[in-house]
Structure 1
Amino acid sequence: MSEMPSPDISSARPADDRSGSHHVTLIQFARWPELGKVKTRLAPALGEEGALKAHMQLTATVLTSLAGTELPLQFWWDRALEPVPEPARHLVKALNQRAVVQRVQKGEGLGARMNDAFERTLARYRKAIIVGSDCPSVDGDYVRDAVAALDHADVVIGPSDDGGYVLLGARRVAEGMLDDIEWGSPQVLEQTCQRLDSVGLTFSLLEPRWDVDEIEDWQRFLAMPV
């Protein structure tokens, strides 16, 4: 296979769509595909190579679901290196073919990176919604519910069964809104709601969905109808 060029993330800019037909943009957060660094809780059962392949399969599934909404879509890597590793080349090719803006997350910790993504995106759009690449249960209807919820609340959260969330959207942000969250713990949702209350932001909760962390989640994903 010939090597795909690295995505030109630094020069990418989202179109200013605040006055257009779309007033919301979707953001897919993704880990850079590196052996031994992604879906590590699946590695005991699948091996490191299997965990990396699972990561890429989940990422592609979420991308397909979000692209199917026909809303503006951006893809934010947690970092970007050259050259593009073999497992990611097909995905990068798909992103380039779809003309999806690719950017790099900035900030120390997940909360800071999401807050930065919201701030940068809300400068151009009225609403922004972030979905993780291990959340295949987020479909088009769920995204549309989140968009509608932001008509009445500053923030929308799609809770996950494990105490975190599969989706986070905002139309307004505040300093510290995602500070002091114990990411990866069962308290993520509760702590986030407390933080939003403390900074004066209203929020709406969608029905719970699930993400893929453990091998049982992966098996549930494999059993999903195609």
Structure 2
Amino acid sequence: MSKAVIYFVKLPIVGFNKTRLQGFLPKEDIHHLSKYLLSKTFKELQLLDAEVLVFVTPSDRKDEISEHLNVEKDKIFAQKECDHLGERMRVAMKEVFNMGYEKVALVGCDLVDITKELLEDVFRQLESYDVVFAPTADGGYGIAASRKFRPEMFAIDEYSHDQVFFQSKSVVEKAGLACGETKLIHDLDTREDVAKYLANDPSASFLNQGEYNANFLIDNGKKILRIALGSQMHLDNQIEYEFLALRGLASSGVVPKVYLCQAKTEILGKGFLIEEYLPGRPLNYEKDLKIAAELLAKVHNVDCEQIPSLIVANHPFQVMYEEFLEMFNHYQNWPHKDLVVEAKISSLMASLANYDRDQELENPCVINTELNSHNFIINPEGKSYIIDWEKPLIGEKEQDLAHFLAPTTTLWRTDVALDRNQIDQFIETYNIKSNNPIKLEKLKQYLHFTCLRGITWCSMAYVQYLESSKVKNNDQTFETISKFISVPFLEQIENYIKMLGEIV
């Protein structure tokens, strides 16, 4: 056989592959992506009329590649241990040409669109050209092929920049060699690469990222690609759950339109949805309470029977209480906990015993459950909206309203704690627009519970951040978490709970 393909691979090891995706994707998803691309390309290579030789790094673990690819042991080789990518490729090409092959193509393992037809085009071009490259969209190349050993192909000083292909081609041509190229191909090295591939939109650009999702602008800024990175609700179908909620709430007129949902993807395992991009600003608690009250009333007025996919909180207070216990348990079992902080949170938890936690759900409606100022898109002279529907439930409107009004929410991103007059005005506006007026005693109970929800969540998140089990995207978030479990803040919440009777 006169043709050979060098499959130039990184062994799939958690934390070793695709380091530029770290901080965007959880390590398990990066590992899934690496294995998927590795296998997908190998299947295409096996369709060729060419010998496939697998060159592996790290070299001392090269035989482990057989756990991922069905490749014979005598077809597995070690990459040279060297930091310079060009030198590693040069040595591999020389080794294979020394085996007697007449045409050799070196193929990377992080490419998403390698096909048998593309490789056949590469070898066909070698009939006319000395060297052939397959350029990638990021300025590099994913395939390098030649019909003789040509060290000039790898004679540039540095790799991993957007001029690799052009510099390599220039060096080859200056050496007097004829250089061909294929159509543009794509690798998945960055978060933008992933978004562009999923949306089939080369203009996709990063917008923002939270703990459980990442958002990208697509379709010239008209739409958002929303990728699920995890689930607060521990759901396997998180993004589909969110999609169905938004579709069911469309009649409210105050949530984003949704266009497409793919519950699972081969490259990530997890899925994505595409929704409307809504311009505007976050809610201002001192200016926009009336707008917020009207928006929430419109959502709560939607017939929840139209969204049978949503989880129903039949005993909402007991569900919340069990969630508090689970979250606080992370802090209680942490060996570095502050005993004073633990005692104060325990005391606040004990104060919930004053309520009946077995109450059944009354007047069910769709609730967001995560209402902070950035869940609102405000346009004072136009339409305003509620966004970020990661954790909707069939519950009680008072739970949603309490989460919106509680100091553990308003103080998360601002320095505003709503006073009695502001809360009274909010309730008055809401009741005018709502099909069901607020039950004040129930709102009071939910306000108490919501404070504990925020504090126990922060106690858990504090441990997770310090133990590095969370992706640290935002230092400001960690500062706020630390503040919320500080003794002064816990004392502030103690005083707020004592004053709840007066506030409501």
1:105 to 56, 79, 84: 79
Q: Say if 1:204 and 1:36 are closer, same or farther in 2 by CA, change over 3 A.
A: same
Q: Say if 1:83 and 1:158 are closer, same or farther in 2 by CA, change over 3 A.
A: closer
Question: Aligned partners of 1:44, 1:196: CA distance in 2, in Å?
Answer: 37
Aligned twin of 1:142: 118
Whether 1:78 aligns to 2:57 is: yes
Whether 1:127 aligns to 2:103 is: yes
How far does the alpha carbon of each residue in 1:15-43 deviate from its partner, in whole angstroms, 9 at most, with x for none? Answer: xxxxxxx3211111111333222111222
Q: CA deviation at 1:63?
A: 0.7
Q: Does the 8 A contact of 1:177 with 1:199 survive in 2? A: no
Q: CA deviation at 1:175?
A: 4.0
Aligned twin of 1:162: 138
Which amino acid is the alignment partner of residue 122 of structure 1? F
Whether 1:214 aligns to 2:190 is: yes
Q: Does the 8 A contact of 2:106 with 2:143 survive in 1? A: yes
Q: Does the 8 A contact of 2:14 with 2:28 survive in 1? A: yes
SS of the residue aligned with 2:71? helix
Question: Aligned partners of 1:38, 1:167: CA distance in 2, in Å?
Answer: 19
Question: Aligned partners of 2:4, 2:45: CA distance in 1, in Å?
Answer: 10
Q: Say if 1:132 and 1:106 are closer, same or farther in 2 by CA, change over 3 A.
A: same
Question: Aligned partners of 1:187, 1:206: CA distance in 2, in Å?
Answer: 17
1:38 to 2, 13, 17: 17
Whether 1:61 aligns to 2:40 is: yes
Q: Name the TM-score, length of structure 1 as normaliser.
A: 0.78
Structure 1 alignment gaps of length 5 or more = 1-21
Q: Say if 1:82 and 1:37 are closer, same or farther in 2 by CA, change over 3 A.
A: closer
SS of the residue aligned with 1:156? strand
Which amino acid is the alignment partner of residue 144 of structure 2? L
SS of the residue aligned with 2:23? helix
Question: Aligned partners of 2:20, 2:79: CA distance in 1, in Å?
Answer: 23
Question: Aligned partners of 2:3, 2:22: CA distance in 1, in Å?
Answer: 36
How far does the alpha carbon of each residue in 1:47-71 deviate from its partner, in whole angstroms, 9 at most, with x for none? Answer: 2232122111111111111112242
Aligned twin of 1:24: 3
Question: Aligned partners of 1:161, 1:133: CA distance in 2, in Å?
Answer: 16
My pick for the range that moved more, 146-155 or 30-39, is: 30-39
Structure 2 alignment gaps of length 5 or more = 199-264, 268-504
How far does the alpha carbon of each residue in 1:72-127 deviate from its partner, in whole angstroms, 9 at most, with x for none? Answer: 11111022335977xx66315x224xx67010112631111111111111221000
Q: Does the 8 A contact of 1:40 with 1:48 survive in 2? A: no
Which amino acid is the alignment partner of residue 90 of structure 1? E
1:90 to 57, 67, 72: 67
The alignment of Structure 1 onto Structure 2 pairs a total of residues equal to 198
Question: Aligned partners of 1:157, 1:36: CA distance in 2, in Å?
Answer: 29
Decide which structure has the larger Cα Rg and report it.
2
Which amino acid is the alignment partner of residue 80 of structure 2? K
Question: Aligned partners of 1:198, 1:153: CA distance in 2, in Å?
Answer: 14
1:115 to 58, 65, 90: 90
Question: Aligned partners of 2:4, 2:62: CA distance in 1, in Å?
Answer: 28
Question: Aligned partners of 2:97, 2:78: CA distance in 1, in Å?
Answer: 16
Which amino acid is the alignment partner of residue 94 of structure 2? E
Point out the structure with the larger helix share: 2
Q: Does the 8 A contact of 1:137 with 1:210 survive in 2? A: yes
Q: Name the TM-score, length of structure 2 as normaliser.
A: 0.37
Q: Does the 8 A contact of 1:146 with 1:206 survive in 2? A: yes
Higher RCO (CA 8 Å, separation ≥ 6 residues): 1
SS of the residue aligned with 1:41? helix
Whether 1:197 aligns to 2:173 is: yes
Q: Say if 1:51 and 1:68 are closer, same or farther in 2 by CA, change over 3 A.
A: same
Q: Say if 1:173 and 1:202 are closer, same or farther in 2 by CA, change over 3 A.
A: farther
My pick for the range that moved more, 30-39 or 205-214, is: 30-39
Aligned twin of 1:47: 26
Q: Say if 1:176 and 1:89 are closer, same or farther in 2 by CA, change over 3 A.
A: closer
Which amino acid is the alignment partner of residue 62 of structure 1? T
Q: Does the 8 A contact of 1:174 with 1:199 survive in 2? A: no
Which amino acid is the alignment partner of residue 192 of structure 1? S
Identical pairs, percent? 23
Which amino acid is the alignment partner of residue 191 of structure 2? I
How far does the alpha carbon of each residue in 1:202-222 deviate from its partner, in whole angstroms, 9 at most, with x for none? Answer: 211111111111234335264
Question: Aligned partners of 2:39, 2:194: CA distance in 1, in Å?
Answer: 15
